[in-house]
Structure 1
């Protein structure tokens, strides 16, 4: 499987900061895109895949914290590293509670930012992998017929074929056939693996 490209996005209204961070990030072999405002970031078409966001807290228009709120409303958001020259502890606590990876006060050391970026991208990789795996489970589950979905509900509850047949008003052999088809379509050979897949779907 081809790995997705990894991106670092920088949102800061200060051009000199954007240029400095862009140069630093590229110097370690990472792709970077910069944006002068939160609105510009929201309006941009960004490639899918693994990414993290370096975000200034205070900017004209939509602030960094407000952008964080917007991004978290759609579910798991891109990992964020906040940078600021005017931060305070309550602001940092709020940002971290909402899932920020790091909160750095300017001026900060290049190594501190790069460490934060690598940590954020590692988190993004985990999230991307999880989303990809759950997406594949959803695709397989969509192949099941309505009856097979009824049967799988009994399987994951630990019901015997005889019990499922009685509840569904079908023969035990019919349940066995459905069970075989379910395992084939879901791409598993062991019942515990099937149960885990359904649990992941329910938790997603």
Structure 2
């Protein structure tokens, strides 16, 4: 203190409140800033823990979903393999009575021509029935019907008194299986005039 500002003896010095206010404010702000940082750090730590828990949960869900999809794929592959392996089972089962009839017919030693013919006709009906049950349908176009290259195979073109590109004669029946050509019908076709 300068001699001019020195208080006289016996008097109490006066303190200017504005001179000490910044110090008090600064010292009070430091603990509040420390408390605010501690709260922010605690909040961030809690948020990090929550995010880690969510991440672990999502990772677990992902692994479970991946395992489930792998199991479903494996089951589907097994079903496809079984379907391929046993696809002909029903078809073969429907042909067994035909086989039995043929064997029974051949077992008869002294059959007449009429008996052989009747046995062959009965066996043919069994075979046609077995094929129909398995969606095998004959392709036998009528004479004069339009030639269809998707279901017919032309062996030759012959002169005929009918429209060009129509079926003249069926040499061999064709067959469809579930509406897909198994074998096209062999036909002769009317040649252009």
Q: TM-score, normalised by structure 2?
A: 0.22
> Which structure has the larger Rg over C-alpha atoms?
2
Q: TM-score, normalised by structure 1?
A: 0.22
